[in-house]
């Protein structure tokens, strides 16, 4: 395959580039407006009790689930009278009823009720200054969002003598989607120039620096088009676009650095351009493909979860990884053929090179041609590897201890779901929801909804409602037989709302006296489900959705983890021929995530640095986000692990000297891995500047994980542990060794071994004779 790619790119280099330009044009057309078709939800399990309850309510009791709220405040409130609050003033009441009637007449809007139409004190604030109008916008998220876009301009702001603000679940999701789209544009404007600057510094050439950016744009535009197509067939989360930016730029830089670095090495070794490209594809190209497959498997594991929020990252991640690999293996080599030695054009470091401060680009590192002792005194990375391996026990203990300590806060994690408080304080929907949370008895849009099947006995239903109302944390229960508080009917509340019975089905609303999305609110859902019912029931609502989502993730988490671990083990075994190396690679990747998870809990959940970062902690973190962050960060960690292990394996095959192989491997990849990590951290950090807390957590957490992996795990822990392991790191049972000999992946095709300059301090040993024989 790589020979065919080499023939294509060297014989007809313009053909892949023309194809790439045509692909970009097509992707630009197909992907235009993709964000408008992406959704802001996706945390529910479609097969859960809460999802089936929502479907039943929408089908049998239209409008029973309010997802749209108008917070109505008189512009000039009349003074409170003995007849009621300022909201009951004749002019205010008349205008509010007219507003309620106008909303009820809107297409796609059902279940409209308000303080003025019902007189219920639970639909006004406790200070009597504002009243609520509740409604349900019909359809799935896109349809409800379209209805919101259509009606919002006609209700928001001043309406006669009323000041109206819009809230509710649909408005919150709309604001989240809009904010993320705006923040993503800003993140790209931040990340692109900084990335280019880092690449210019690393490559020393403006031309070489632009090549990975071109690959990144190819991957990002292509993935955007894929998301647009997928969104026409299934639900896709708006958050997936963030992953497109992160991985599109990050992997393009990773793969571009690896390919261009190897190409320069071959040119510096005297190869002509076609030979240099062919060798680069046969060596670095294999590693890039292997790395892409490893990362794609990690992302594909998210397909086992039923929530489309998680599945969306597989929809975005797999194509962006594969397109980045295609760009690095097809487009980039074609560009290298056309550029030839002009890859170093626009050399911004030439003045420093003239005075001997820097080596010329592509000059072979001294670690390549000298044995272990000399390698350790050659490049900085080789010296670091030597120093770490000489103090392997101390470095291992200190590094492991530090990583474990950084991860300790995760032991206190509380899972929940993000609500309006993930939005900035200036968002209108958040302000409305905060007013309801602080000043309305029970959350009228946060109730636990119960659909009772085959419920024909009113007395049994009333007894069930009474028992539910006696549960700790319940403010009241509203059912067909009336309102119940503390285990008995509430005569003062009057008759129940009509329309709560349809055929042999009925629905009841459990209004919590506690925060519905809190851990206590989730416990209340479990208590409701544990309460014996006179007939089959479905329990729904936002808090029930959280409980079901957590259960669905927990049920499938082991399957996803097993897929990632087994696939990673097999792929690393095919690369190394060892059964120890895959195990170590998995442990290294897992350890690199400890700081990320600890920081997520310490910062986002516990609220440390919330003032500096300007977000509102809620005491929990989004249930699905740690799973997502694990899959992405684990895959990226394995990406760097493959780069390092491939060079260690190559050197070990050539010399048979384990310590030399580790030193040379780190010397040859240390600068690449750290440079790529810095670029990824910049991109993720730019994503982390989002005003939406979940996106901030995703970007900031992944940036930290990448930096810890590159600067701590790969630079310190890996050489220390490999020094401890010695040649045992390459062990495999004889049957597996034979299997690898037949089917394994090797970075270099069989070729005569390169001659090493003997170290005068080291006598020729059996190992060196065996190496020469190989």
The 3-class secondary structure across 652-719, one letter per residue, is HHHHCCHHHHHHHHHHHHHHHHHHHHHHHHHHHHHHCCCCCHHHHHHHHHHHHHHHHHHHHHHHHHHH
* Helical (H) or strand (E) element with 565: helix 542-576
pLDDT score for 486: 86
Q: What is the mean pLDDT of residues 550-577?
A: 89
CA geometry: angle 221, 326, 583, nearest 5 deg: 115
Q: What is the mean pLDDT of residues 627-654?
A: 87
Token pair recorded at residue 169: 């679940």
pLDDT score for 95: 92
Taking the C-alpha atoms of residue 46 and residue 66, their distance in angstroms, rounded to an integer, is 19
Question: Is the pLDDT higher at 325 or at 261?
Answer: 325
pLDDT at 766 over 60: no
Distance of CA 681 to the CA centre of its chain: 14
pLDDT at 307 over 80: yes
pLDDT score for 706: 93
Helix (H, G, I), strand (E, B) or coil at 131: strand
pLDDT score for 152: 92
* Segment 359-371, tens digit of pLDDT: 554 444 433 333 4
What is the band of 346 on the pLDDT scale with cuts at 50, 70, 90?
Answer: low
pLDDT at 343 over 60: yes
What is the band of 348 on the pLDDT scale with cuts at 50, 70, 90?
Answer: low
Taking the C-alpha atoms of residue 554 and residue 547, their distance in angstroms, rounded to an integer, is 11
pLDDT score for 760: 32
Torsion of CA 445, 451, 452, 453, to 10 degrees: 160
pLDDT score for 579: 92
* Segment 662-688, tens digit of pLDDT: 998 898 888 888 888 888 899 889 989
Taking the C-alpha atoms of residue 538 and residue 155, their distance in angstroms, rounded to an integer, is 34
For the chain, give the percent of residues with pLDDT over 90: 31
pLDDT score for 769: 35
Mean pLDDT, rounded, of the chain: 84
pLDDT at 701 over 90: yes
What is the band of 539 on the pLDDT scale with cuts at 50, 70, 90?
Answer: very high
Q: Is 527 exposed, middle or buried (0-12, 13-18, 19+ CB in 10 A)?
A: middle
Token pair recorded at residue 403: 């990583």
pLDDT score for 9: 79
Q: List the one residue out of 332, 323, 194 whose CA is nearest residue 251.
A: 323
* Segment 114-163, tens digit of pLDDT: 999 888 888 888 888 899 999 999 887 878 888 999 999 999 998 888 99
pLDDT score for 103: 94
From residue 773, alpha-carbon distances to 16, 588, 731, 769 in Å are 41, 33, 20, 6
pLDDT at 419 over 90: no
pLDDT score for 190: 87
Contact status, residue 1 vs residue 273, Cβ threshold 8 Å: no
Q: What is the mean pLDDT of residues 716-724?
A: 92
pLDDT score for 754: 41
Taking the C-alpha atoms of residue 315 and residue 318, their distance in angstroms, rounded to an integer, is 6
Helix (H, G, I), strand (E, B) or coil at 474: strand
pLDDT score for 372: 39
Taking the C-alpha atoms of residue 192 and residue 686, their distance in angstroms, rounded to an integer, is 10
For the chain, give the percent of residues with pLDDT over 70: 89
* Segment 454-507, tens digit of pLDDT: 766 888 888 999 999 999 989 889 888 888 988 888 876 666 667 788 888 888
Q: List the one residue out of 265, 301, 305, 310 whose CA is nearest residue 283.
A: 265
pLDDT score for 771: 38
């Amino acid at each position: 395959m790589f020979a065919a790619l080499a023939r294509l790119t060297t014989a007809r280099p313009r053909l892949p580039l023309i194809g790439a330009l045509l692909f970009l044009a097509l992707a630009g057309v197909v992907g235009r407006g993709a964000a408008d078709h992406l959704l802001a939800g996706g945390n529910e399990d479609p097969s859960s009790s809460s999802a089936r309850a929502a479907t039943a309510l929408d089908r049998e009791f239209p409008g029973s689930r309010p997802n749209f709220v108008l917070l109505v405040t008189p512009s000039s409130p009349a003074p409170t009278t003995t007849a009621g609050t300022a909201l009951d003033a004749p002019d205010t009441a008349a205008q509010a009823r007219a507003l309620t009637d106008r909303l009820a007449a809107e297409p796609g809007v059902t279940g409209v009720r308000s303080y003025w139409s019902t007189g219920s004190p639970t639909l006004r604030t406790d200070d009597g200054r504002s009243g609520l109008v509740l409604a349900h916008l019909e359809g799935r998220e896109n349809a409800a969002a379209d209805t919101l876009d259509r009606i919002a301009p006609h209700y928001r702001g001043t309406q006669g003598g009323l000041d109206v603000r819009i809230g509710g679940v649909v408005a919150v999701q709309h604001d989240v989607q809009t904010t993320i789209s705006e923040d993503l544009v800003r993140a790209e404007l931040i990340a692109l120039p900084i990335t280019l600057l880092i690449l210019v510094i690393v490559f020393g050439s403006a031309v070489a620096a632009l090549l990975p950016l071109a690959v990144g744009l190819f991957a990002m535009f292509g993935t955007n088009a894929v998301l647009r197509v997928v969104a026409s067939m299934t639900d896709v989360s708006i958050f997936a676009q963030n992953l497109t930016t992160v991985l599109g730029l990050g992997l393009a830089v990773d793969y571009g650095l690896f390919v261009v670095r190897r190409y320069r090495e071959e040119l510096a070794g005297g190869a002509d351009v076609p030979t240099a490209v062919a060798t680069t594809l046969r060596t670095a190209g294999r590693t890039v493909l292997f790395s892409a497959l490893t990362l794609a498997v990690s992302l594909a594991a998210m397909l086992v979860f039923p929530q489309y929020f998680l599945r969306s990252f597989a929809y975005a991640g797999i194509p962006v990884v594969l397109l980045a690999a295609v760009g690095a293996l097809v487009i980039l080599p074609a560009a290298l053929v056309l550029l030839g030695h002009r890859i170093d054009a626009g050399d911004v470091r030439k003045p420093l090179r003239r005075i001997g401060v820097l080596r010329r680009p592509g000059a072979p590192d001294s670690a390549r041609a000298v044995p272990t002792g000399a390698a350790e005194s050659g490049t900085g990375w080789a010296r670091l590897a030597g120093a770490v391996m000489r103090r392997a026990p101390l470095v291992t203990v200190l590094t492991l201890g530090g990583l474990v300590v950084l991860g300790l806060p995760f032991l206190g994690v509380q899972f929940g779901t993000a609500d309006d408080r993930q939005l900035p304080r200036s968002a209108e929907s958040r302000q409305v929801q905060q007013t309801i949370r602080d000043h309305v008895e029970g959350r009228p849009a946060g109730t636990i909804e119960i659909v009772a099947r085959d419920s024909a006995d009113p007395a049994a239903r009333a007894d069930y409602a009474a028992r539910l109302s006696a549960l700790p944390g319940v403010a009241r229960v509203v059912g067909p037989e009336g309102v119940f508080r503390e285990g008995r009917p509430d005569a003062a509340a009057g008759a129940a709302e009509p329309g709560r019975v349809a055929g042999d089905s009925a629905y009841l609303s459990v209004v919590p006296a506690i925060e519905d999305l809190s851990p206590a609110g989730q416990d209340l859902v479990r208590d409701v489900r544990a309460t014996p019912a006179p007939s089959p029931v479905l329990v729904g609502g936002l808090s029930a959705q959280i409980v079901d989502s957590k259960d669905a993730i927990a049920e499938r988490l082991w399957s996803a983890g097993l897929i990632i671990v087994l696939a990673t083990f097999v792929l690393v075994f095919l690369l190394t021929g060892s059964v120890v190396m895959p195990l170590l690679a998995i442990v290294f990747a897992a350890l690199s995530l400890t700081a990320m998870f600890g920081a997520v809990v310490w910062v986002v959940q516990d609220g440390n640095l919330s003032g500096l970062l300007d977000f509102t902690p809620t005491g929990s973190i989004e249930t699905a986000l740690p799973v997502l962050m694990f899959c992405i960060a684990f895959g990226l960690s394995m990406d760097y692990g493959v780069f390092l292990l491939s060079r260690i394996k190559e050197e070990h095959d050539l010399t048979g000297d384990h310590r030399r192989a580790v030193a040379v491997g780190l010397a040859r990849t240390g600068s690449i891995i750290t440079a790529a990590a810095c670029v990824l951290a910049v991109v993720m950090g730019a994503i982390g500047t989002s005003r939406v807390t979940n996106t901030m957590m995703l970007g900031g957490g992944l940036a930290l994980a990448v930096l810890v992996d590159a600067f701590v795990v790969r630079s310190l822990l890996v050489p220390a542990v490999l020094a401890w392991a010695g040649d045992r790191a390459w062990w495999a049972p004889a049957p597996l060794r034979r299997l690898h000999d037949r089917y394994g992946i090797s970075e270099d095709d069989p070729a005569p071994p390169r001659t090493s300059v003997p170290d005068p301090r080291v006598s020729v040993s059996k190992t060196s004779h065996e190496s020469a024989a190989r």
